[in-house]
Structure 1
Amino acid sequence: MLISMNWIREYVSLPDHLTMDKLAHDLTLRTVEIEGAKNPAEALEHIVVGRILRVAPHPAADRLRLATTEVGLEHPVQIVCGGINLRPEQKVVVALPGAKVRWHGEGAPVVIQPGKLRGEASYGMICGSDEVGLEELFPAKQEGEIMDLSSLDVPAGMPLGDALGLNDVILEVDNKSMTHRPDLWGHYGLARELSAIYHAPLALLPAFEAPKEVLLRPIEVEDAADCPRYTLTQVDQVSVAPSPLWLQIRLFSVGVRPINNVVDLTNYAMLTTGEPCHAFDADSLTGGLCIRRAQNDEELVLLDGSQVSLTREDLVIADEKGAVALAGVMGGKADSVHPKTGTILLEAASFDPSLIRRTTKKHALRTEASMRFEKGLNTQRVEETLGVFQAMARTLLPGCVFTSYQDVAQAATPTPSVRVTQDFLSRRLGRELSLQDLMQSLSPLGFQVAKMEDAFDVRVPAWRATGDVSLPEDLLEEVARMIGYENFSFQAPQVELTGPVRADDARLDRRIREYLAFRCGLQEIYTYPWVHDQYIKAAQLPTDHLCTLAAPPSPEHAHLRSSLVPGLLEACDKNSRYFEELAIFEVTQVFRSDECYSPSVPEERLPKPEKHLGIALMGPDPEALFWRLKGIVEDLPRIAMLPPFTFTPYERPPYADRNAWLNVHTQGVPIGDLSLVSLQTLNASGIKHAALAIAQINLSALKAFPSRDNHFIPLPNFPLVLQDLSLLVEESVQWADLKALVAPKVRSVEFIDEYRGSQIPQGKKSVTLRVWLGSDEKTLTSKEIDAVMQDITQTIADRMGAHLRDQ
């Protein structure tokens, strides 16, 4: 959304020392994200108002003329021009040397230089409106017409931006940052925020003086939930004409095209308050109005000339003949304001936001009105937009009379109270808050704060009561942002570092991606989960198990992928016009409607996702592609620590070439396939002059080998001594028990063998083990070695009754 600072200043007096950088910074931290700021006049640098003194024919060109023009310099200048409407005393737009313009409104901007044209000197350029980007404000009636400013009472040489009132700062607000703030979709809402941030006085909007006469046309609202409030005001003696230039400039600056004084006033009121309104031509309506659901297949031609076929999910405004407007979105063409309109019916209403949202998505209609209605507007804002329209109409529609009015108010937007304790706010903000602190933060925003025995009672203003503020946490956010997040002292969190969780699936995923990207040189791609029907048909995949989206992004993308092959075909098709060779892979989920699960309750059935790997190699040599693809897949288990793959021709994929395909198995279980893509599939996918090899592996069916946890053992500083022991032990003694006794006394212990024979007593066995002895301080002596071995032998004898075999 675009915001005019000149417009804002009509409602709030900002500090004189405030820079736009500071204002954008403060708004971004406290309210909405400001993406940029620009002055429209800067695009018109070195472009001025000129006054033509004389016009003479060009001696060497029939279609060119020599215009002696006053441009604010010491002497008039001569400019060669081909405009068809040049005349003496005419005020025109002159681009002086250094200005940037677009020749005939096309191409990139060019810098004007003084020079000669057909042998005659030309200092600058007399411009048409499209050459300086003002064609919407000053549309040319015919080709070759220059922009006529004779109606302006400005001197020659004045910068064009100043002459037109374009010297303004336009803020670009990120719409995503205020989707939850319907109160900010108008200049007055942002003025209220700036008033609270800088403690500046806020001007009141003009009050609406409703006519005492009741509108004779009956108004019926079929369902109050669809339309909580609907007002209609009759205005007589209206003269439709172009709006004054200042109003056209104001709308143009924020991206709205001027139409006429009536329509421009409705747009002005909407951009001020955030509440849309619409003007009907009263004589075009038949009887009363009904706010109802549309009939199935009911047709309506909209203001932009498009025709929509409606359903019961759409809300319309209808007269006795049928629908005249798509409620909250766009008016109908037949009943719109036209040059001969003398009486208008001004609509201002509140509609169900979810209903408007569904209608805009279904018909692909995003308008300034629908963007605001779908956020949820409070019913009290209707008076605000009517008051702004009425105040402006008395100036811009001289002689108009507000004759009658009808208000069908089903339910006013309630203003809830939220109770919050001081402890709740202080503990979460990390600072003590008093009643005064709370009032200083919330009162400028329109909240009413009252101190109760053990809590604060905060009344939410109507413009914030449509779902934005309803919980103590919402008030916490309001207080924090008004204090300023930068004003809170930083407190480092206490972090306890523990051992990482062993995530084998994530490790396997990482190893596969690194192998394909680093070792195989493939590019990883990311695609949407929905696929184009063209590539599903090209792959000849079965469609009975596809998951269908309830609200697809387009009719051709109505299904979720059940295989990665269609997405790989689309990626290769789109890249084939730029690259002769391509090597890509994707690791992502696929979905099948015949495999569902319930994540929470049995009634919730969702398609069970499976993780798949898809690989595509495109190039001129099909045989080389096939063997390269087989090598990549064949080496994958070794690198990723998986059970080995086997390749057998068992069942040919429908998209595969008849002579080059293999199924992939692991431990006897089929997990995928690889193949060259058939010519039929390539042609259906739009891939020409290239061969394609594709592999698809079901990663959900794979499980990596478990690996031990490695730890570091330094090399010994002194030589180790190797000793073998052969022990006679009971048959029931386990090797693990022997190792547990010996290991703490040595550097390492190892099992050698186990023996039973005629030399071994019945019920006994001989176990040979090897130990390594060592010291970190010196080389062991024979006496020290014997002492350790004696200790080991004695320990085993005491604990297990064992003795050396040769004893």
Structure 2
Amino acid sequence: MKLSLSWIKDYVSIPEDTDLKKLAYDLTMSTVEVEDVEYLARRFDNMVVGVIEKIEAHPNADKLRVCKVDIGGGEVKDIVCGGINLKEGMRVAVSCPGAVVRWHGEGEPVVIKNSKLRGVESFGMICASEEIGLGELFPSSQEAEILDLSAFDVPAGTPLAKALDMDDVILEIDNKSMTNRPDLWGHYGIAREIAALYDLPLVTIDPYKTDVASDFKVEINDPDRCTRYIGVEMSGVGVKPSPYMMQNRIWKAGMRPINALVDITNYVMLATGNPTHAFDADNITDHIVVRHAASGEKLTLLNEKELELCPDDLVITDSEGPVALAGVMGGAKDSILPDTKRVILEVANFESTGIRRTALRYDTRTEASSRYEKAVDPERCDQALALSMKYFKELYPELKVTGFCDNYVKPLKKAEIDVSLSWLAKRIGKTLPNEVIRKKLELLGFEVEIAGDNMHVIAPAWRSTGDISIKDDVMEEVARMYGYDNFEPTAFTTSFDHAINQKDQDLIRNIKEYLAGRCGMQEVYTYPWMNDIFVNAVLQTTEGVLKLSTPPAPDLSYIRCSLLPNLCEAVVKNERYFNDFSIFEEALVFFDKNYSTPYDPAESLPEQRRHIGGAFASSVKNITELFREAKGVLEYMPRFTHMEGFEFKKEEKPVWADNVVWLNIWRGDEKIGDMGLLSKKVSLECGIKNLSVMLFELDASRLQPLKSRTNKFTHLAEYPEVEYDISMLFDSEAVWNDIYDAIMGQKKASALVKNADFVDEYRGKQIPEGKKSVTIRLTIGSGEKTLTSQEIENAANQVMKKLGKKLNAQLRTQ
């Protein structure tokens, strides 16, 4: 937010010798963050008002003129100019050598120098408004139009900043630093804060009073969404330019002046922080009603955006329908028009949360909605009304108030808080005299009563809409007004009794290090939204998927509920450069269910979970190799990341997976993920042309670190161990997990068998139909002696016997 210091001085008399750097520092340390202090006049260094005495034709260019310009001090300079509206006696803005301008208002700034234009010496430059940054304050009607300053009765040579009242200081405030301070969203609020900081008198704005009697009325159907609405019906007005002072201040605050009727409403909003609006009274039928919109009701806004409203929207209506989106923007049909002669002024107060929802729903955030959504207090309507009527009467002496209604349906209740003085002293770390505390709070508008150790505080209206609600808020007010710099720094002590091992926090990090370091995978980061192509291909449904109300692009409307669509998109992008790679991502996913919040139910958030997903893509490996690589990464993950294990089952085929190559990942009775080969159909829909892709996704929030890590020392084998391969015939449906359990389960086939590894699987002419050959590598050894050949054979025979009994396996003989 931009603030004009000269405007602030209308309300508080800041001493002329005040150090502006100190003012900015004090505001930053106590109230809001001042990001920048700009001395506005510096934009117009080496620029003066010149008077054109004579215009002559350029000898070498038909569209150029040679102007003899009085720039003050008895100097008349020749300046070559191509302006189409030049005339003798005209006051113009002259940029002398050393001034900085933008040619035609575009491109990079350039420094003006004496030069020759088509053979004629030219001193400086006669400027258009866009070239010196004043295009919005002095809009030109056509290209090549020079800024005409004839309305400013100043002598030639007057510095341009002085002539245009630009000798001002602009304070730029960080909006985020005052999100919870709706009282500061206007010049008067900042003036009130400065008055409190330096104990200066503040100019009061007396309420507007009228005894107009009429049948004009305002009806409010929802007092919770609209607590107050003041309507003033006036005649004797018209569309004309506002005074330069008003236009200048609106421009300094970062807005664009339009006409007197609109400028008054914007000026008052920038002054008080309370938005106002003016309707063309001739287009308002009957009286004003503030109500919820009907489902499907239409409204065209001032910016020509046509809305289809919903019942959550609050609208201003007449007997024919909506005329404005309450607190956001007026309607095109009933706002100020070129022939407006009568107006209805709206000075209202709307509930903050509803305004924020509406503005976000239609992607229409305005200066008005930005203020209302911070929770403006309804008492401020009195200030906004008083200033509005002051300027209406000044600009329109013939004005007549024909109707007035102040419907204050839900008066504000000021916040009242009891604070223990001993608690206050303990929390701020310093015992302050009671009178110091009282004075600091009273300077801010608080009412204070102290009885013994208790202080009863009543917050002012402008701080009672949520800003001041608990005793900690009062503590903050005392501390910041006393000055944080005035508290002596005190070293605090703490003791660390023992190390804290946060296994839950470490697990995700361990998994990422395992995937990247030990498995050689590349970590990727993707946006939280998903491309519709990959959503339709991979997920094949949008049921339960959250849709963004304002997506970054039309085809990026869904927020991720799975990591796989974005991983497939990453595969497509990398296929151009690599024929064998593996990637993984760890991120939050969102589900349209289980909404919860400790605050307002309307602000509830969807369920969020942390997932880990990966993709193994290759055109050089066959599917078997790719499957083993992916499964191996997952199988060894618990061991290397110190978490509880999981197992693989085939129960629910993922919609994106091949019909054969897939597995579910289970932990106990809960499915926590899937892995499998991306089906050919899905691959083609994604645009994956030549790669086979193996995917996996785990719900990381379901993974559990090992509760303890008890290490037991085991000697390396002191006697030789032997690897012994056996090939056996199993039913085609047999899986490795069952084979391994039969060999190495709780009842081991043989105590001498230390491990069993899968070698390969074979189906062919030599293998009976419905069977497959599995080669198993047994590691056989003893911790007591070197085994004989017969002992090794016996151990292998025990394994084959166990497999035959449990899985109907037979030794392969050919």
Q: TM-score range by the shorter chain?
A: 0.7 to 0.9
Say if 1:625 and 1:693, in contact at 8 Å, map to a contact too.
no
**Which residue of structure 1 aligns with residue 231 of structure 2?**
232
Say if 2:55 and 2:88, in contact at 8 Å, map to a contact too.
yes
TM-score (structure 2 length as normaliser): 0.77
**Which residue of structure 2 aligns with residue 293 of structure 1?**
292
SS in 2 for 1:497: coil
Which ranges of structure 2 fall in alignment gaps of 5 or more residues?
713-782, 786-814
Of the candidates 534, 546, 549, which is equivalent to residue 548 of structure 1?
Answer: 546
Say if 1:643 and 1:666, in contact at 8 Å, map to a contact too.
no
* Aligned-partner Cα distance in 2 for 1:338–1:664: 66
SS in 1 for 2:63: strand
181-190 or 302-311, which moves further after superposition?
A: 302-311
Alpha-carbon distance change, 664 to 222 in structure 1, aligned in 2, over 3 angstroms: closer
**Which residue of structure 2 aligns with residue 177 of structure 1?**
177
348-357 or 666-675, which moves further after superposition?
A: 666-675
* Aligned-partner Cα distance in 1 for 2:582–2:159: 57
**Which residue of structure 2 aligns with residue 799 of structure 1?**
none
Deviation at 1:559, TM superposition (A): 4.6
Alpha-carbon distance change, 538 to 460 in structure 1, aligned in 2, over 3 angstroms: same
397-406 or 6-15, which moves further after superposition?
A: 397-406
193-202 or 697-706, which moves further after superposition?
A: 697-706
Deviation at 1:115, TM superposition (A): 2.2
- How do residues 571-720 of structure 1 correspond to structure 2 at under 5 angstroms? 585-591=584-590, 610-615=609-614, 622-623=619-620, 634=632, 637=637, 640=641, 671-673=673-675, 681=683, 684=686, 695-698=695-698, 700=700
Q: Answer yes or no: is 1:438 the counterpart of 2:440.
A: no
**Which residue of structure 2 aligns with residue 368 of structure 1?**
367
Deviation at 1:702, TM superposition (A): 5.4
Q: Answer yes or no: is 1:168 the counterpart of 2:180.
A: no
Say if 2:538 and 2:682, in contact at 8 Å, map to a contact too.
no
Residue deviations 1:225-277 (CA, integer Å, cap 9, x gap): 23222211223322431012221111011111101112111111111111111
* Aligned-partner Cα distance in 2 for 1:448–1:497: 44
Deviation at 1:191, TM superposition (A): 0.8
Alpha-carbon distance change, 418 to 557 in structure 1, aligned in 2, over 3 angstroms: farther
Say if 1:617 and 1:625, in contact at 8 Å, map to a contact too.
no
Alpha-carbon distance change, 93 to 440 in structure 1, aligned in 2, over 3 angstroms: same
**Which residue of structure 1 aligns with residue 32 of structure 2?**
32
Deviation at 1:42, TM superposition (A): 2.6
Deviation at 1:342, TM superposition (A): 2.4
59-68 or 43-52, which moves further after superposition?
A: 43-52
* Aligned-partner Cα distance in 1 for 2:595–2:201: 58
Residue deviations 1:643-691 (CA, integer Å, cap 9, x gap): 99999999986667999x7769799999543667969657757x8x996
Deviation at 1:385, TM superposition (A): 0.7
Deviation at 1:516, TM superposition (A): 5.0
* Aligned-partner Cα distance in 2 for 1:323–1:217: 18
User: What number of residue pairs does the alignment pair up?
Assistant: 704
* Aligned-partner Cα distance in 2 for 1:345–1:426: 52
Residue deviations 1:369-411 (CA, integer Å, cap 9, x gap): 1122222222221111111112223333333233442212213
* Aligned-partner Cα distance in 1 for 2:621–2:96: 63
SS in 1 for 2:251: helix
Alpha-carbon distance change, 450 to 640 in structure 1, aligned in 2, over 3 angstroms: closer
**Which residue of structure 2 aligns with residue 61 of structure 1?**
61
- How do residues 23-172 of structure 1 correspond to structure 2 at under 5 angstroms? 23-72=23-72, 75-172=75-172
**Which residue of structure 2 aligns with residue 320 of structure 1?**
319
* Aligned-partner Cα distance in 2 for 1:490–1:168: 38
Alpha-carbon distance change, 693 to 647 in structure 1, aligned in 2, over 3 angstroms: farther
**Which residue of structure 1 aligns with residue 221 of structure 2?**
222
Instruction: Give 2:91's aligned amino acid.
Output: K
- How do residues 431-470 of structure 1 correspond to structure 2 at under 5 angstroms? 431-470=430-469
- How do residues 764-779 of structure 1 correspond to structure 2 at under 5 angstroms? none
Instruction: Give 1:673's aligned amino acid.
Output: M
Alpha-carbon distance change, 606 to 354 in structure 1, aligned in 2, over 3 angstroms: closer
* Aligned-partner Cα distance in 1 for 2:695–2:219: 63
Alpha-carbon distance change, 696 to 132 in structure 1, aligned in 2, over 3 angstroms: farther
294-303 or 154-163, which moves further after superposition?
A: 154-163
SS in 2 for 1:235: strand
**Which residue of structure 1 aligns with residue 426 of structure 2?**
427
Instruction: Give 2:620's aligned amino acid.
Output: E
Residue deviations 1:168-227 (CA, integer Å, cap 9, x gap): 22222222222222111111111111111111121112x233221123223222232232
Say if 2:522 and 2:582, in contact at 8 Å, map to a contact too.
yes
Say if 2:154 and 2:163, in contact at 8 Å, map to a contact too.
yes
Instruction: Give 1:81's aligned amino acid.
Output: C
* Aligned-partner Cα distance in 1 for 2:5–2:616: 55
Alpha-carbon distance change, 407 to 631 in structure 1, aligned in 2, over 3 angstroms: same
Instruction: Give 2:372's aligned amino acid.
Output: F
Say if 1:425 and 1:433, in contact at 8 Å, map to a contact too.
no
Instruction: Give 2:273's aligned amino acid.
Output: G
Instruction: Give 2:227's aligned amino acid.
Output: P
SS in 2 for 1:61: coil
Say if 1:325 and 1:332, in contact at 8 Å, map to a contact too.
yes
* Aligned-partner Cα distance in 1 for 2:343–2:364: 25
Alpha-carbon distance change, 283 to 516 in structure 1, aligned in 2, over 3 angstroms: same
* Aligned-partner Cα distance in 1 for 2:578–2:242: 54
**Which residue of structure 2 aligns with residue 354 of structure 1?**
353
Say if 1:614 and 1:694, in contact at 8 Å, map to a contact too.
no
**Which residue of structure 2 aligns with residue 401 of structure 1?**
400
* Aligned-partner Cα distance in 2 for 1:121–1:573: 62
Deviation at 1:426, TM superposition (A): 1.4
Say if 1:324 and 1:332, in contact at 8 Å, map to a contact too.
yes
Instruction: Give 1:108's aligned amino acid.
Output: E
Deviation at 1:526, TM superposition (A): 4.5
Say if 1:218 and 1:289, in contact at 8 Å, map to a contact too.
yes
Say if 2:672 and 2:699, in contact at 8 Å, map to a contact too.
no
- How do residues 734-753 of structure 1 correspond to structure 2 at under 5 angstroms? none
Alpha-carbon distance change, 598 to 77 in structure 1, aligned in 2, over 3 angstroms: closer
* Aligned-partner Cα distance in 2 for 1:360–1:379: 20
Say if 1:261 and 1:397, in contact at 8 Å, map to a contact too.
no
Deviation at 1:567, TM superposition (A): 2.7
**Which residue of structure 1 aligns with residue 262 of structure 2?**
263
Residue deviations 1:439-466 (CA, integer Å, cap 9, x gap): 1210011011122354222121111111
Say if 2:228 and 2:406, in contact at 8 Å, map to a contact too.
yes
Alpha-carbon distance change, 320 to 432 in structure 1, aligned in 2, over 3 angstroms: same
Say if 1:137 and 1:252, in contact at 8 Å, map to a contact too.
yes
* Aligned-partner Cα distance in 1 for 2:315–2:468: 30
Residue deviations 1:621-652 (CA, integer Å, cap 9, x gap): 84389989986985674754679999999998
* Aligned-partner Cα distance in 2 for 1:574–1:115: 54
43-52 or 443-452, which moves further after superposition?
A: 43-52
78-87 or 63-72, which moves further after superposition?
A: 63-72
* Aligned-partner Cα distance in 2 for 1:360–1:95: 43
Instruction: Give 2:387's aligned amino acid.
Output: V
493-502 or 578-587, which moves further after superposition?
A: 578-587
Say if 1:154 and 1:163, in contact at 8 Å, map to a contact too.
yes
Instruction: Give 1:548's aligned amino acid.
Output: L
Alpha-carbon distance change, 606 to 295 in structure 1, aligned in 2, over 3 angstroms: closer
Deviation at 1:574, TM superposition (A): 8.3
* Aligned-partner Cα distance in 2 for 1:73–1:578: 70
SS in 2 for 1:623: coil
Report % sequence identity: 41
**Which residue of structure 2 aligns with residue 778 of structure 1?**
none
Residue deviations 1:530-573 (CA, integer Å, cap 9, x gap): 534343124354444x3436967678666542321223345677
Instruction: Give 1:457's aligned amino acid.
Output: H
* Aligned-partner Cα distance in 2 for 1:241–1:453: 61
* Aligned-partner Cα distance in 2 for 1:160–1:582: 65
Which ranges of structure 1 fall in alignment gaps of 5 or more residues?
712-751, 755-807
**Which residue of structure 1 aligns with residue 741 of structure 2?**
none
**Which residue of structure 2 aligns with residue 479 of structure 1?**
478
Deviation at 1:475, TM superposition (A): 1.0
